[in-house]
Structure 1
Amino acid sequence: MIPVSEPSRIKVAAEWYTKASMEDVSYADYRLAQMYSNGQGVERDDELAGVLYQKALTEFIEQDKQQPDADTEFRVANMYLKGLGMEANPEEGLKWLEICCEKKNARAQYQLAGMYQKGDGVPQDEIKAQSLYNEALAGFLEQEKETPAAYVEYQIASMYKHGNGTEQDNYAAFQWYVEAAEKGHPHAAYCTARAYYEGAGTEQSYPDAVKWYQKAAKSGDAYAMYELGKMYRDGIGVESNKEKAYQHFLAAAKLGHEFAQFAAAKALLSGAGVEKNIQGAVDWFRECAEKENPFAAYQLGVLFSAGEEISKDDSLAQKFYSMAIAGFISLDRKKPDAGIERKIAQMFYSGNGTAQNYAAAAQWFSMSAAKDDPYSQFQFARMIQKGEGTPVDELKSQLIYAAAISGFLKILQENPDADLLYKVGMMYEAGLGIKRDLSTAKQYYTEAAAEGNVHAQLRLNQIQAYQNQAAVSTVMGLFNAFVYSLGDNIKDSTTRKYRHDRKLTQKQKAYDEQEELM
């Protein structure tokens, strides 16, 4: 028997649903609408999907009048809640969902529980949510006894995983995910892979994670495609392969996966596993930014501001920067994060997406620095030292510099980054947070230069030139003293030739004063 591929099955299903829809079979209208909406087995057509959804809704309501049925009511509820074929109507959707719950429909109870847990369309009420989850779990377990089904097993697994309606239990969750995955549930296969990846409820196994991610990806699960992309990119559980990573990112991106779109854009931007294509990167960053992803918006701001290989557009850059900073602030309110706070601070400092505001920048750097982010500690100390947006306080700045260099040195133990080696070298040279030590500074500059940092090599050259000149000056000073002691008024051109070069000294001093450590 020749195996039928998944895309072929979907196409055949679409053909059967089309025939049934022509005979006014309500469920066929509903499923065909989903397929046109997602472009599964047919060419995507949102307008036709809307018409089919409207037809299905009318048929479902009429059908329920004649013969009330919880499954039909559940579909109607979700069509109103999600606005399928119409404007969303949360009130009407909630009414139908509650009717369904009265019939002890486990899926409806599960969904309403989630709404009460999040406060989505109803007052937030964790007690009521858990009560509904508990009823839903009992219903799912009863259904599973009567007729084992992948979607039921998946729901049970999810409830154990998140502790909804029961005690949180990773082991039980894993067992149920495997049951559902082996019956072909694509997202259960993804969750099984995730459990192996994290070692949650089972022994950690990257090879098993890869195996289950591949199964889920073949079934069209975008999340699995994205995770596979990361594993190939980072060489976890598989040999590192940037080309395969990009292909998985691209496949997930085409299915609308937000983070995969960002990853695909980054690959195109750097040429990792694919030919470098700035315009292609911009296109995917735009797709991602439309989903209100602030990181994508920020990248677009950087690209349009720089104008490298695309037309420079400062107005468009500021528009995307503005989207980015608003998004970052919103993210940080929900879940404070040192890295995001640092990025917000940098945008206030530079005036990207907002008016330049040193006081606001100092405040955000301070918040991030308090979370032990060494980069923010460095920037905040620098602002205190220069009196930017905050009073000058040399002692305070040195204490914060000390915390920053301690953090940098810990990072360098795990990752000898060229730019960070250069920064630490500058801190030793300038005595920022640590006793000034030119010898140690040169060691860090040498390491940074070996890793490809051109600024470190330039600094080494400047230090060498300065030291050579200083040595010549010392020798000539001794020679002049010797001549003077002999009472000789020799005015040899040789002494002029090796006289201390004041211009070089002045240039070196200017460089030291102007060099930005930020």
Structure 2
Amino acid sequence: MALVDRLGAALSPAWALRRALQKQTSNEPTAAFPLFVRAAAAGLPDAQFHVGRAYLEGIAVPQSRCEALRWLTRAGNAGHVEAQSLLASMYIHGFAVNQNTNDSLFEDRGEQRPDFENAMIWARRAAVNGSTDGQAILGYILTNGPEAIRDLDAGHELYQKAAECGSPQGALGYAISLAQRAKDSKDHEAVVQFLKRAADAGLPTALFLMAVVTEGGMGTTRDVPRAVQYYRKAAERGHRNGQARWGAALLEGKGVEGNPPEGESWLRRAALAGDAEAAALVGDLYARGGDLPPNYAEAVLWFTRAAENGHKGAARALGVLYLTGAGVGRDPDEAARWFRISAEAGDRRAQADFANLLLRGGGTPEDLVRTRQWFEEAALSGDLVAAFNFGVCLAEGIGVEKDGKQAVHWLRKAAEAVVNAQYWYGRMLTEGRGVPENEAEGRAWVSKAAQSGMVDAQVSLAEMMINGRGGPRDHAAALELFSLAAAKGHVGAMFALGAMYGGGHDVPQNRVIAQQWFRAAAERGHPHAQMMLGRYLARGLAGETNDIEAREWLERACAHGLAEAKQDLNRLPAANSEARLQQTTVH
């Protein structure tokens, strides 16, 4: 502090305050602060307010909420209206700390909880003293505080009073309150009118809400490009939802020229600030890849961030990644945990995924019951996919006693739109489960599902065509269906193709092709295919004899308990000739 300032401050606290304000206006906070302290120590409320705000914001002095609270409280008790409003805001945001608590750079303050009781005291004092900000803050407390102090009508009136006096915060609060009471288009127009006042003042939340109403055409003309610019302004002022929407717009080129790299950057900012949707979008970017291959490990990190913030879609995505082992070690239990979280949050696909895991033997009895309840509730509300899943629960006794009749009812309802339900309903008809057996109608429903590309239905229909169940035999058509299913990885269809090409069916015999299909199925763990491949190799049915490999495949089949394979194995020569290790005879 200059000599003249020290002398002036010592002689007159008022002079010190005036000098401090001059220094502050000249953007000299370091020079202003000691002058404010001299005046504040002498009891000048305005100086106490400036000292408190300096400590709160860390201007020219290390930030200290404890000191901020002490000086602002002194100013507020002396009637300083701005200090009273700021104190109310501090208590709402949980920034106020006990005056005897020492601030520490290394202190973990934990969760900062609002103190509405003290906030209301200071807001009311500021409002009574004519502060429009105090009125707006008191309106917020009365409309958003605990139920015991809530008074929506009084809060609405305070917002209106503050808004009419030019308070941007009041205009924002009044717009939100009006929106909750709006009944017609005129009311919505009034909402936009006050919302725009707050947005024009640069309030981030108002800018974001203006974007929302402009994008949706609520109370104003729908204008996506203009809405996107509001999202941009909100994003630039640190509004995390605005950052997420602005990032998504840049990513998709919606209402603005596309810029995926910048869009991803904004999404990352929003995600790191806690926006679950943004984190899920970033995770999806990594999972899908693009110019670069997918990075599932990075996707897991972002999906986890989103899921932990309540994003049900991200939780399901994690379930899929853990189930498949993409980006993480394969872990069905962890997959089930994430599917359960997503399902309990209402994600229909996750409910189905979770149910499929339960069908494989996972989960607890409580899981089975809860899954059935999800499907039942959704089915009763008209969800046909849920109706199918509920039908399967009833048919298989998942979380409920088996009830074939009710299963048929729900499967038939779902079959109008759900391919899997068509297949299941067809099976119930052909097997006479819960309904009189009707093989012809059952085959028709299975055929319908097969035509839609369902692999299990294609295999089932092909089997019916081979044995003439529910309709005429048609081995050529069955061969075509088995081929379609095998191309999609159906192991049973691969075995069936081997059997058909092996002879005894109304298709040309070709044992070389038959052996190829038996091998394909055997390598995928099909016991009967392993036995047939061993038999082919032992007997040279496809022109090639190989006792060593035949023994290996027959032993695998025996391990699955196939008695016929044991007989074939016993017919093989003893495995004690070194020369036979090289044996391969072509006929």
**AA paired with 1:423?**
A
Query: Is structure 2 residue 183 aligned with structure 1 residue 128?
Result: yes
**AA paired with 2:153?**
K
Match of residue 442, structure 1, among 479, 483, 494? 479
- Tell me whether 345-354 or 462-471 shows the greater mean CA deviation: 462-471
Which residue in the other structure is 2:414 paired with? 368
1:262-316 per-position Cα deviation (integer Å, ceiling 9, x unaligned): 32233223321112234444544455456455665665566567556xxx63x23
1:367, CA displacement in angstroms? 3.4
Distance in 2, Cα, partners of 1:136 & 1:470: 75
Distance in 2, Cα, partners of 1:305 & 1:44: 47
Contact 1:341 1:364 in 2 (8 A): yes
Which residue in the other structure is 1:108 paired with? 173
Which residue in the other structure is 2:150 paired with? 92
Q: 1:471 to 1:441 in 2, by over 3 A?
A: closer
* 3-state secondary structure, aligned to 2:315: helix
Count of paired positions? 418
**AA paired with 1:380?**
Y
* 3-state secondary structure, aligned to 2:428: helix
Q: 1:468 to 1:186 in 2, by over 3 A?
A: same
Distance in 1, Cα, partners of 2:480 & 2:57: 65
1:158, CA displacement in angstroms? 0.3
1:93, CA displacement in angstroms? 4.6
Which residue in the other structure is 1:328 paired with? 378
Contact 1:359 1:389 in 2 (8 A): yes
Counterparts in 2 of 1:36-55, with a 5 A limit? 45=110, 49=113, 52-55=115-118
Query: Is structure 2 residue 388 aligned with structure 1 residue 342?
Result: yes
Which residue in the other structure is 1:177 paired with? 231
Contact 1:242 1:273 in 2 (8 A): yes
Query: Is structure 2 residue 333 aligned with structure 1 residue 270?
Result: no
Which residue in the other structure is 1:31 paired with? 93
Q: 1:447 to 1:401 in 2, by over 3 A?
A: closer
Contact 1:294 1:327 in 2 (8 A): no
Q: 1:469 to 1:398 in 2, by over 3 A?
A: closer
Distance in 1, Cα, partners of 2:471 & 2:257: 45
Which residue in the other structure is 1:56 paired with? 119
* 3-state secondary structure, aligned to 2:390: helix
* 3-state secondary structure, aligned to 1:49: coil
Contact 2:303 2:315 in 1 (8 A): yes
Distance in 1, Cα, partners of 2:387 & 2:96: 41
* 3-state secondary structure, aligned to 1:379: helix
Consecutive unaligned residues in structure 2, runs of 5 or more:
1-55, 74-86, 98-105, 164-169, 510-587
Distance in 1, Cα, partners of 2:325 & 2:198: 51
| TM-score scaled by length of structure 1 | 0.66
| TM-score scaled by length of structure 2 | 0.59
**AA paired with 2:242?**
A
Query: Is structure 2 residue 461 aligned with structure 1 residue 427?
Result: yes
Consecutive unaligned residues in structure 1, runs of 5 or more:
1-9, 36-40, 117-126, 409-419, 473-518
Distance in 2, Cα, partners of 1:216 & 1:132: 32
1:157, CA displacement in angstroms? 0.8
1:226, CA displacement in angstroms? 0.4
Counterparts in 2 of 1:165-204, with a 5 A limit? 165-196=219-250, 200-202=254-256
- Tell me whether 248-257 or 354-363 shows the greater mean CA deviation: 354-363
Distance in 2, Cα, partners of 1:42 & 1:359: 64
Query: Is structure 2 residue 183 aligned with structure 1 residue 138?
Result: no
Query: Is structure 2 residue 221 aligned with structure 1 residue 158?
Result: no
Contact 2:144 2:150 in 1 (8 A): no
Contact 2:208 2:230 in 1 (8 A): yes
1:134, CA displacement in angstroms? 1.6
Counterparts in 2 of 1:97-496, with a 5 A limit? 97-100=155-158, 102-103=160-161, 104=163, 105-112=170-177, 115=180, 128=183, 130-145=185-200, 147-196=201-250, 200-202=254-256, 209-236=263-290, 239-285=293-339, 287-288=341-342, 291=345, 303=357, 306=360, 313=364, 315-325=365-375, 328-329=378-379, 333=381, 336-370=382-416, 372-390=417-435, 396-408=441-453, 420-431=454-465, 437-464=474-501, 467=504
Match of residue 142, structure 2, among 77, 93, 105? 77
**AA paired with 1:449?**
A
- Tell me whether 11-20 or 169-178 shows the greater mean CA deviation: 11-20
1:230, CA displacement in angstroms? 1.5
Q: 1:142 to 1:424 in 2, by over 3 A?
A: same
Choose between structure 1 and 2 for higher RCO, CA contacts under 8 A separated by at least 6 residues. Answer: 1
Q: 1:471 to 1:276 in 2, by over 3 A?
A: closer
Contact 2:283 2:300 in 1 (8 A): yes
Contact 1:130 1:165 in 2 (8 A): yes
Contact 1:422 1:444 in 2 (8 A): no
Counterparts in 2 of 1:10-21, with a 5 A limit? 16-17=64-65, 20-21=68-69
Query: Which structure has the bigger radius of gyration?
Result: 2
Distance in 1, Cα, partners of 2:206 & 2:470: 59
1:112, CA displacement in angstroms? 3.7
Distance in 2, Cα, partners of 1:100 & 1:406: 65
1:251, CA displacement in angstroms? 1.9
1:53, CA displacement in angstroms? 4.5
Distance in 1, Cα, partners of 2:309 & 2:205: 21
CA RMSD of aligned residues (A): 4.2
Contact 1:425 1:442 in 2 (8 A): no
**AA paired with 2:457?**
K
